[in-house]
Amino acid sequence: MSTFNYKVLNKEGEIMVGVVEAPNSDLAIEALIEKGLKVVDLNEVKASLDSAFKRISLFNRISKKELVIFSRQLAVMVSATVPIIQSLRIIVKQTKNVAFQGIITKVTDDVDEGLKFSEALKKHSIFSGFFVNMIASGESSGRLDEVLEYLADEVEKSYDLQSKIQGAMIYPAFIISGLIVVGIAMMVFVIPQLTGMLIDSGQELPFMTKILVFVSDLLKNYYIYLSLGIIVLGGGSYYFFKKTSAGIKLFNFLKLKLPVFGKLWQMIYLVRFAGTLSSLVNAGVPLTNALKITSDVVDNYYYKKLIDEAIDKVKDGYSVAHVFSKSKMFPSMLSQMLKIGERTGSLGDVLKKLADFYSREVENMVANLTSLLEPLIMVVIGVAVGGMVAAIIMPMYDMANAF
């Protein structure tokens, strides 16, 4: 399959440019003509090392930032009464990511052939169920421009939150990485020099010193096998925690139970739940459908299970708060507010206020994350250094007393 850059005239005589994939140039021209386009120019994109790297998904992943830019650009142009197809074609020209450019081109072609914008987006997994259903509600209500503005804001908020969390983790990750590097260097170059004379003395070494010597020898003499073992273990762990049902359950459980981070993850899930459900309910999406989409957006096995139970209860005639009020994963305040929202007919507005409240809680936790982790890191460093020093000093002290 080859890629071709094209310049064509549409039925209105307007010049359009884009990218098309086809086995050869003749089939590429035929595909464009079938769409009612007159081909002006067609050039095959020559393969190069750079383009080969760009086509590899590892080097060409579609980031959340690119989705933010796409949503914002589309919202601005549609609000300015630019037709959706023309807006998409403009965005294609401005998109540098080859993979994302190809997806937008396919969406544009599908819409040009008569498919609804939401249905065209649904074909591509990078657009979440929440995103697609919000677009669908905007199409049915005739408020697509407003929905796009709202989506652009929501995607941007999600991206900002993710960036803040990653930013807060830079300092702890740097400290821990530095500690590991220094520790390995000590074990390989310094510890053997210090423990050599202890071994030569022939005295019985303390248990801690034996462990230190063993680890030092392992890192110094078997580092190749150790590296391969870490790679295999890392790959196996990734497969287990990401691809198997038992691994996903365990990983999601650990995320909720981790010290410091467990509470943060719970708050993030509550923000996703309240924010997504609020948007869908206010957009007129039926409650059971809205809960189903929210279940996918929350992306945690235990929360998904609870929301799926709520869907069954709602179908049986119970209130949406019925299941949540019995679970410790949902704060009592949230359950009570849901009941009030259902009684007053303002469920969407109540959920929006809850989402704003929990968003502020997450922001405060992220802001304090570094200060919360610093004492923990200091304790770990102190224990590691203290243990290493004790393992060396204790046998030296025993040796001195022997004389």
pLDDT at residue 46, rounded to an integer: 65
pLDDT at residue 58, rounded to an integer: 43
Are residues 199 and 205 in contact, defined by beta-carbon separation less than 8 angstroms? yes
DSSP SS3 for 378? helix
Among the ranges 20-34, 58-72, 274-288, 387-401, which has the highest mean pLDDT value? Answer: 274-288
pLDDT at residue 55, rounded to an integer: 47
Question: What's the length of the chain?
Answer: 403
More confident residue, 202 or 226: 226
pLDDT at residue 49, rounded to an integer: 44
pLDDT at residue 59, rounded to an integer: 45
Confidence of residue 402 (pLDDT cuts 50, 70, 90): low
Class of domain 261-367: mainly alpha
Confidence of residue 382 (pLDDT cuts 50, 70, 90): confident
Domain(s) labelled CATH 3.10.20 in the chain stretch across 1-46
Q: Per residue, what are the HEC states of 279-291?
A: HHHHCCCCHHHHH
Compute the average pLDDT of residues 194-199: 74
Beta bridge partners of 9: 15, 38
pLDDT at residue 337, rounded to an integer: 92
pTM as predicted: 0.70
Q: What is the DSSP string of 201-225?
A: TTPPPPHHHHHHHHHHHHHHHSHHH
More confident residue, 119 or 322: 119
Residue 333, Cβ neighbours under 10 Å: how many?
11
By the 10 Å C-beta count (0-12 exposed, 13-18 middle, 19+ buried), 361 is classed as middle
Domain(s) labelled CATH 1.20.81.30 in the chain stretch across 261-367
Nearest partner of 272 among 293, 297, 304, judged by Cα: 297
Percent of the chain having pLDDT more than 90? Answer: 17
Are residues 157 and 84 in contact, defined by beta-carbon separation less than 8 angstroms? no
Range from 55-59, 229-233, 249-253, 280-284 carrying the lowest mean pLDDT: 55-59
CA–CA separation, 8 vs 109, rounded Å?
14
Relative orientation angle of helices 144-185 and 64-79, to the nearest 10 degrees: 160
pLDDT at residue 155, rounded to an integer: 82
CB-based burial, 117-152: b 16+ in 10 Å, e otherwise: bbbbbbebeebbbbbbbbbbbbbeeeebbebbbbbb
DSSP SS3 for 115? coil
The residues, any chain, with a CB within 8 Å of residue 192's CB and separated by 6 or more, are 216, 217, 220
Can you list the alpha helix ranges (DSSP code H) found in 318-368? Answer: 321-324, 332-344, 347-367
Confidence of residue 167 (pLDDT cuts 50, 70, 90): confident
Range from 85-89, 163-167, 246-250 carrying the lowest mean pLDDT: 163-167
Range from 102-106, 164-168, 239-243, 259-263 carrying the lowest mean pLDDT: 164-168
Confidence of residue 403 (pLDDT cuts 50, 70, 90): low
Compute the average pLDDT of residues 117-129: 89
- Give tens-digit pLDDT for 252-274: 999 999 887 889 889 989 988 99
Are residues 148 and 79 in contact, defined by beta-carbon separation less than 8 angstroms? yes
Question: Residue 397 CA to chain centroid, in angstroms?
Answer: 53
More confident residue, 332 or 372: 332
Would you give the DSSP letter of residue 142? Answer: T
By the 10 Å C-beta count (0-12 exposed, 13-18 middle, 19+ buried), 394 is classed as middle
Fold of 1-46: Ubiquitin-like (UB roll) (3.10.20)
- Give tens-digit pLDDT for 43-79: 887 654 444 444 444 445 788 888 888 988 998 898 8
More confident residue, 343 or 199: 343
Compute the average pLDDT of residues 183-202: 79
